[in-house]
Chain A
Amino acid sequence: MRQRLLIATVIVTALAAWGAAAASADVLNQLRPNVSSPVSLLGVASGTDISFTQIPVRLRGDLAVQFHGDQATGCATRGLCGFSGTVIWQPPSTGSIDVDSFRDHGRTEYDVSLDLSSQGFTVGPAIDGGTTTADVRFAPNGSAGSSSICTDAAATGADIGMPVNLRAASLTLAAASPSLLGTRCAGPLQSDIASLLARRVVDVATLFHGRAAVDLASSADFAVHGLAGTVTSTVELSLGRPRTQRFSDGGSSSKQPTVRTVVLSYRAHLDGSIVTHIHGDPSSCAALGSCGANGTFALRVHSTPGTLALGTVTRARRPLRDVLTALGLRKDGNPRGILVLGFFIVHGPLMYSVNVAQGANTCRDSGPAGPDAITLSPTGTHLRAEFDGALPAPHLRCPGPNVSQVAFGAPPIDHLTRRGGTIHLTGGSQVQDDGYIGRTAANLTLTMGPPKLLVSTDALRSANPG
């Protein structure tokens, strides 16, 4: 299933980049990530009804988390005892619940999410999602340094996933991206409070009707990983009238363009680390409470083997040698205009570890990361590979900057696509964030086994590639 997901992702990306005519909904119509082969990825299976429903939502209320260091759950070993504060998430006043319906193995499945990204015209710069504000104080015990305060704000919760089981959608704020609690200040993680947030189970059919109120108010205490406190939500959703776009099978496929999918798949794994050293920036540390801070954030990766897919979609009448040339497998074709993309989802042991010293206090934390991803795209004679860590705030429960954990590599394409091999992803960049400066160093190795070539030709239902 994971292999299908990877291949599908490559093709979705390729198609989306292929032409403006293929609107995103059309691309979805063609490609579900959980179909059985590259052929069926192109959506020629008959009788598949897919719809996209958007339900306008008005939001009221806030989410507040008040916390303090907690001896009983190990604040001393984590250096979190001196921290206390309040984190508040305030949603935007409007958003939408998006319901994507699709067929999978003869059953209708649903993806449901609360989309709070900025929509339409705004006078000023748009804020994607809601706003999280943190007010966190650090008061060390005894003579272990001086007290400080961290105040910060961030745009968070642009997309909130709503899990669906059978036909029951769980409406909750627990799976927001970016995290509803993510700022540069110390504090609990979203995963620490996720189970305490209200979860309203609604039948998808009821959701389709819209025009309902959903109360996500709740209040509960938490004590986990060195921090304890209270989570209070007064958030309410007011669902408006839904708009549904249905996708038919587009009639006879004989009139549609025929496309060829060529995918190289490799067994691959990723190993290595990205380490960021930071310290408080004297010019801006006061407001973040980071004066005198010194720390290290490390992402260590030893991924489980998975499938790396590198592929492309073209019109079927384009000579195959052109496609194989674009993939670096031949040299006698014309690769012009063929877009090749690759994808590898990094699963398995990915671990963030944090160590931030300030005065006599050292905050230590660790936690799982990922899944992250490596994207691949040819640039002339080389294959550019890019790793982009999914977590924008790798400081976990400790205070720290928002940094990108990025690494690049660009080996010659033909050597890799023919036989597999290794790609070294490196990178060093300066960190310059509110309250912090520092440097990131990446050293990752992507190991690819020998390739398997998959070629399929089929009709595209309604997208209109150029």
Chain B
Amino acid sequence: MPRSRQIRIEDDNAVVRVTDPGSTPTEPHICTQLAPVSMVLTIVRTHSAGLQATGLPFFSPPSSGDCAGPSDSLGAFSLPARRLPGPREAYDLSNTQSFGSGPYTVTIRSTLRARRPAGSAPGGPGTSSSSGSSSSSSSGSFPPPKEQKALVESVSMQYRITGISGTVTTTFAGRPDPFCAPLDACGASGVVTDAISGSENRFEFDAQRVVKRRVSRRDALGDLRSGRLMLLDTGVLVGDRLSANVGWPVGSACTDRLRQLNALDVVALERRRHANVLFGLDTQVEDPFRTACPGPAGADVLGSSETLARAVMPARDLGRKSLRIVLSGHGRFVAGSYAGSHSSGLTLAMTLVRVRAGTKVESVFPG
């Protein structure tokens, strides 16, 4: 057997069902949601335990969706694997195991059996293998563009972050009956507060363009402030502390707190037409406000946007000794079984550390 085998599991119609507090056989309270699963199990041979199938922490492992449940990934587990006899490669991954995840005890019960489809070669659809070696081929690929030397007008500014603080608050309540029913949100209400703090201490702004003549430091700074010199996208990652509090009319409540890093970032983009810099508090993760409590998903709260708060600063302010940027954002939402609102406020204070501006010869790619 190669050093590893990968089994990809996809189920577009996986359903999560969570029995909520106050549920009785005669009056059940069940949160039900479609929660598609896409995960990869890697089977490797270990020295101590034979074959083990481990869930990779990417893709979309099983989760409790918007229902209450462990906020940690349920895909980070290992199952003992047993090779099955037969002409086609096959594995038995059946097992039951329990572990703790925050306030929950999680029991994973697997009845999985994986067998290579008839007629498929090793490495074909459904599985892939890795033997630890790699090779590359350039046949059929385009030749890489050739670098060339050019005169580059550039400005680089480094600011030290002296303060970054703010909160994102989402308040929500179950929608009227029957729309609250699928997620068992009838009468439920809650608030998720996200307190943001800094995790990096430098904010760098860089701008560059190819020019035909040398320009002075003063002219380069002037070009940046007037919008003629293109600002490259930049940003810093931030840390945040989530706290959720959700209550049901029967009197029970769910509270949870957790710290996370790199779920949110502050980005700066050039808004070229108006010679402005656009700051945004963004998220790049699927559900930045997910805790162990039930509640709306980030996509429900934000819609198709990834931006929680914004601020616009004139580009002419770049280079000032100190900058204070106040980002804000708010909105309402109606999605799934919940309706509510969100408001965000973030203050970013920075002091200038250094400025480099002028012209230099650099290797660039044509175009």
A135 is an interface residue with CB less than 8 A from chain B: yes
Q: Quote the shortest CB–CB distance from B67 to chain A (angstroms).
A: 11
* Contact between chains at B17 and A287 (CB < 8 Å): yes
Mostly helix, strand, loop or mixed at chain B's interface?
Answer: loop
Contacts of B303 in A (CB 8 A): 93
- B178/A152 in contact, CB under 8 A: no
Q: Closest CB of chain B to A354's CB: distance in Å?
A: 21
**Residues of A with C-beta under 8 A to B178:** 64, 66, 86, 88
Q: How far is the CA of A66 from the CA of B179 in the complex (A)?
A: 11
Q: Give the chain A neighbours of B10 by CB distance below 8 A.
A: 125
Contact A152:B15 (CB < 8 A) given known A64-B179, A133-B182: yes
Contact residues in B for A147 (Cβ distance below 8 Å): 26
A117 to B: closest C-beta gap in Å: 12
**How distant is B305 from chain A, measured CB to nearest CB, in Å?**
11
CB proximity to A under 8 Å, residues B177-228: 178-179, 181-182
B258 within 8 A of A: no
Is B33 an interface residue when CB atoms closer than 8 A count as contact?
yes
CA distance A149 to B59 in the complex (A): 32
Assign chain B's interface to a size class. 20 to 34
Query: Within residues 88 to 109 of chain A, which ones have a CB less than 8 A from any CB in chain B?
Result: 88, 90, 93-94
CB pair A127–B36 under 8 Å, yes or no, is yes
Contacts A93-B303, A123-B285 given; does A153 touch B182 at CB 8 Å: yes
In the bound complex, residues from chain A placing their C-beta under 8 Å from that of B182 are 88, 133, 135, 153
> Which of B15, B37, B304 has the most chain A CB atoms inside 10 A of its CB?
B15
Residues from 8 to 50 in B contacting A, C-beta threshold 8 Å? 10, 12-13, 15, 17, 26, 28, 30, 32-34, 36-38
Residues on the B chain within 8 Å of A153, using CB: 15, 32-34, 182
Decide yes or no whether B167 CB sits under 8 A from chain A.
no
What mask results when residues 333 to 354 of chain B are scored 1 for a CB within 8 Å of chain A, else 0?
A: 0111000000000000000000
Contact partner of B181 among A88, A154, A402, CB < 8 A? A88
Distance (whole angstroms) from the CB of A86 to the closest CB of chain B: 4
Q: How far is the CA of A337 from the CA of B130 in the complex (A)?
A: 32
Does A124 interact with chain B (Cβ within 8 Å)?
yes
Does any Cβ of B come within 8 Å of A159's Cβ? no
Q: Is B89 an interface residue when CB atoms closer than 8 A count as contact?
A: no
Which one of B13, B38, B59, B335 contacts A402 once the chains associate, using CB atoms below 8 Å? B13
A128 near B: Cβ within 8 Å?
yes
Contact B32 A133 (CB under 8 A): yes
Interface check B286, CB cutoff 8 A? yes
B-side contacts of A155, CB under 8 Å: 12-13, 34, 36
In the complex, A90→B303 CA distance in Å? 14
Residues of chain B contacted by A402 (CB below 8 angstroms): 13
By the criterion CB–CB under 8 Å, are B179 and A154 in contact? Answer: no
Residue B73 lies at the interface, judged by CB distance under 8 Å to chain A: no
B32:A125 contact, CB within 8 angstroms = no
**Contact between chains at A94 and B304 (CB < 8 Å):** yes
Q: Do residues B336 and A90 form an inter-chain contact, with CB atoms below 8 A?
A: yes
A151-B286 contact given A88-B181, A124-B38, A135-B181, CB 8 Å threshold: no
Write out, one digit per residue, whether chain A residues 136-163 have a CB within 8 A of any chain B CB (1) or not (0). 0000000000010101111100000000
When distances are taken between beta carbons in the complex, the residues of chain A under 8 Å from B335 are: 90, 93
* Complex interface: chain A residues within 8 A of B307 (CB): none
Majority SS at the chain A contact face: strand
- Is B334 a contact of A127 with CB atoms below 8 Å? no
Contact of B34 among A60, A64, A154 (CB under 8 A): A154
A127 touches B181 (CB 8 A): no
Which of chain A's residues have a CB closer than 8 A to the CB of B179? 62, 64, 88
A130 to chain B, nearest CB (A): 10
Say if the beta carbon of A215 comes within 8 Å of chain B: no
Would you call B15 and A434 a contact (CB within 8 A)? yes
Contacts A86-B178, A93-B303 hold; do A152 and B37 have CB atoms under 8 A apart? no
List of A residues within 8 angstroms of B12 by Cβ: 125, 127-128, 155
**What is the number of residues of chain A that contact chain B, defined by CB distance less than 8 Å?**
29
Among B28, B34, B111, B285, which residue has its beta carbon within 8 angstroms of that of A127?
Answer: B34
CA distance A126 to B12 in the complex (A): 8
Cα–Cα, bound, A123→B38 (Å): 11
Q: Which residue of B lies closest to A126 (CB)?
A: B36
Tell me the complex Cα distance, A434–B12, Å. 13
Q: Which residues of A contact B54 (CB under 8 A)?
A: none
A123 touches B286 (CB 8 A): yes
In the complex, residue of chain B having the shortest beta-carbon distance to the beta carbon of A123: B286
Interface 0/1 of A25-64, CB less than 8 Å to B: 0000000000000000000000000000000000010101
B15 A125 Cβ-Cβ under 8 A: no
A126 shortest CB reach to chain B, Å: 8
Residues of B within 8 A of A283 (CB): 111
Within 8 A of A (CB), among B227-259: none
Contact flags A381-414 to B (C-beta < 8 A → 1, else 0): 0000000000000000000001000000000000
Is A314 on the interface with B (CB-CB < 8 A)?
Answer: no
- Contacting residues, chain B, for A88 (C-beta < 8 A): 178-179, 181-182
Chain B residues, Cβ within 8 Å of A131: 33-34
Quote the shortest CB–CB distance from A149 to chain B (angstroms). Answer: 5
Residues of the B chain whose Cβ atoms lie less than 8 Å from the Cβ of A62: 179
B78 lies within 8 A of chain A by Cβ: no
Q: In whole angstroms, how far apart are the Cα atoms of A322 and B69 in the complex?
A: 62
Chain A residues near B33: list those with CB within 8 A.
131, 133, 153
A residues near B26, Cβ cutoff 8 Å: 147
Assembled-state Cα–Cα distance A330/B110 (Å): 53
Q: Is B156 on the interface with A (CB-CB < 8 A)?
A: no
For B181, the chain A residues whose CB sits under 8 A away are 86, 88, 133, 135
Contact, CB under 8 Å: A124 / B60 = yes
How many angstroms between the C-alpha atoms of A283 and B178 in the bound complex? 29
Interface pair B304/A93, CB less than 8 Å apart: yes
Question: Of all chain A residues, which has the CB nearest B109?
Answer: A283
Other CB < 8 Å A-B pairs besides A125-B36, A283-B111, 20 of them? A86-B178, A86-B181, A93-B303, A125-B37, A125-B38, A126-B36, A127-B12, A127-B36, A131-B33, A133-B181, A133-B182, A135-B182, A153-B15, A153-B32, A153-B33, A153-B34, A153-B182, A155-B13, A287-B30, A402-B13
A-B contact list, 9 entries, CB within 8 Å: A86-B178, A93-B303, A124-B36, A124-B286, A147-B26, A151-B30, A152-B32, A155-B36, A287-B30
Which 10 residue pairs are nearest across A and B when measured between Cβ atoms?
A: A133-B182, A125-B36, A153-B34, A151-B32, A124-B60, A123-B286, A125-B38, A86-B178, A287-B17, A153-B15
Interface residues of A (CB under 8 A from B): 60, 62, 64, 66, 86, 88, 90, 93-94, 123-128, 131, 133, 135, 147, 149, 151-155, 283, 287, 402, 434
